[in-house]
Structure 1
Amino acid sequence: MKPRDIALAVAIAAAWGVNFVIIDVGLGHFPPLLFNALRFTLAAFPAVLLAGRPPAAWRWVIAVALALSVTKFSLLFVGMHAGMPAGLASLVLQSQAVFTIGLAALLLRERPGRRQLAGLAVAAAGIGVVATRVGAGGLPAGAFASVLGAAAAWGLANIATRRAAPTDVLRFMIWVSAVASVPLILLSLLVEGPAADLAALRAIDGPAVAALLYVVLVATLAGFGGWGLLIRRYGASPVAPFSLLVPVFGLASAALFLGERIHRTDLLGGVLVIGGVLVGVAPVVRPLDRVAA
């Protein structure tokens, strides 16, 4: 890869890592489901009016929208709202690799190799180390379970994305966002209620707008657009390992800007998760197997 493209890949990983801090800020202003609905609605409109036809079959656009945008991000936002630290959330989400390989074996009959199995076992052990903080360690069980569920939904979305094989990642994500926007709005209205949603919108201020613009313009549109550009230039294998920098930036930025304490179990678990994913999964990832929040 050219130095400027390496710099772009690192910049995208940094933007996605910092995004967990931005999400935490946004959740201080919006109910989690409403925040997620606003993210994908604004990411889709008006961009979808200029995007042309979806670069994949409609069934896969719908499948990814439901698995990724509706389920994965809703669970992530709900989990963080319930007390999952931003930095730790960026790390636990990397367990999506374990779910991706497991679901690929179950649904696509793909047999993982020994190296994959060994790497995934190490990554799973890392998540187990992080999980020791649940309860007595001050980590809410429900919040941890929600983010782990988000990782599982991400794994399912990865399978659907691999089957979709979109020719343009950014255009694909714009259509995924558009399809997800309606069920996300309805979900927020049903679960959080019109009164809570209206109150949040009426109380919107500068930091809330800034957080929303960041997750829409930087994390979603610019992030996916740049990532797709790198994938088209070099293929998935050289690019995907840069995504392992996301939890590094996530933990560091959460400690710096939110004052989150990094526990020893976080560090040990992080080394195991990132190391296991790097060894066992990075060589076989596909274009969207690794994207961040």
Structure 2
Amino acid sequence: MTPHHLLLGLAIIFAWGFNFVVIRWGLDGLTPMMLGGLRFLAVAVIGSCFFAKPNTPLKWWFLYALPISFGQFAFLFTAMEFGMPAGLASLVLQAQAIFTVLFAILFLKEYIRPYQIIAILIAAIGLMVIGSENNDTHMTLVGFVLTLVAASSWAIGNIATKIISQKGYSANVNLVIWSCWIPPIPFFLCAYFIDGSDLMWDSLLHIDITTIATLAYLSIFATVGGYGLWSFLMSRYSASTVAPLTLGVPVVGLTSSAMLLDEHISNVQWIGIGVVLVGLILNTFGGKWLKALSR
């Protein structure tokens, strides 16, 4: 990867890692469902001006958007509202890689390699360590569990992406952007039944500049810009070269959350974080290492 393209990759890592701090700020001004609905509405309106409509049939838009856009962020935003620290959320959400492997085995009948089993077990142990240590930190068990549900929703979206590709359709950034017209519907419906119409209108009528800036970051930088650059890199380099960059996201998330949100992580949780990262690294690079050793 050229130095210029590596800088673009680092920009994506920062945008997606800092994204969790911005979400925390956004939840100070909007309810989880309103934040989700307005975010994806903004992405749809802005992104549709820059990316062509995909050739994927509408039914596959729903298969993709409902789990990965609505499900993932409805549970993530709710988790952070109910006590999941932004930094830990950025790490625990990466469990999607493990859930993706498990769901691929269940639904796509894919073969699981021994190193992937070991990686899943290591990451699971790390997650259990993090989840068990919630007495002396800001994290709640409810927030932790909801974040895991968000990660599983992301994984279901990954399986949907595989299915769409197998059907011969494009599952690229164009689908990501245009499918954002779908999640505002369930988000606003949930906001109506959970928050009530009065709170919905009040949050819109009294929206402040901080909340507008938050929505701008989440839609323009984290989604349109982030996925646009990610698609650019994926089109020029192998997936094995680009995909590992996401391992830097929780590093940025944990660091920025500690600096800007004063989040406290216990020593035991740091151990759990390290164990999870070992599992994720093994899952990402294990195949490449085995090929190198077999030569």
Tell me if structure 2 keeps the 8 A contact 1:55–1:171: no
Structure 2 residue 259 is the aligned partner of structure 1 residue 256? yes
Moved more, 228-237 or 57-66: 57-66
Which residue in 1 is equivalent to 2:174? 171
Which residue in 2 is equivalent to 1:151? 151
Which residue in 1 is equivalent to 2:39? 39
Q: For each residue in 1:83-102, what CA deviation from the matched residue of structure 2 results, as whole angstroms up to 9, or x when unmatched?
A: 11000100110111121111
Q: For each residue in 1:48-81, what CA deviation from the matched residue of structure 2 results, as whole angstroms up to 9, or x when unmatched?
A: 3664432434332211111011111000000001
- Percent identical among aligned pairs is 35
Tell me if structure 1 keeps the 8 A contact 2:47–2:224: no
Instruction: Give runs of aligned pairs for residues 91-102 of structure 1, distance below 5 A.
Output: 91-102=91-102
Task: Measure the CA separation in 2 of the matches of 1:162 and 1:100.
Answer: 11
Task: Measure the CA separation in 1 of the matches of 2:55 and 2:217.
Answer: 25
Taking structure 2 as the reference length, the TM-score comes to 0.91
Instruction: Give the secondary-structure state (helix, strand or coil) at the position aligned to 1:234.
Output: coil
5+ residue gaps, structure 2: 288-295
Which residue in 2 is equivalent to 1:117? 117
Q: For each residue in 1:123-152, what CA deviation from the matched residue of structure 2 results, as whole angstroms up to 9, or x when unmatched?
A: 111111101123565522211111110011
Q: 1:242 to 1:276 in 2, by over 3 A?
A: same
Task: Measure the CA separation in 1 of the matches of 2:84 and 2:171.
Answer: 33
Which residue in 2 is equivalent to 1:291? none
Q: 1:168 to 1:139 in 2, by over 3 A?
A: closer
Task: Measure the CA separation in 2 of the matches of 1:282 and 1:153.
Answer: 24
5+ residue gaps, structure 1: 285-293
Tell me if structure 1 keeps the 8 A contact 2:90–2:253: yes
Report how many residues are paired.
Answer: 284
Task: Measure the CA separation in 1 of the matches of 2:109 and 2:171.
Answer: 27
Q: CA deviation at 1:273?
A: 1.3
Task: Measure the CA separation in 1 of the matches of 2:39 and 2:138.
Answer: 29
Q: CA deviation at 1:167?
A: 3.8
Which residue in 2 is equivalent to 1:289? none
Higher gyration radius (CA):
2
Q: 1:228 to 1:257 in 2, by over 3 A?
A: same
Q: 1:55 to 1:130 in 2, by over 3 A?
A: farther
Which residue in 2 is equivalent to 1:290? none
**Pairwise CA RMSD of aligned residues?**
1.7
Instruction: Give the secondary-structure state (helix, strand or coil) at the position aligned to 1:30.
Output: coil
Q: CA deviation at 1:206?
A: 1.4
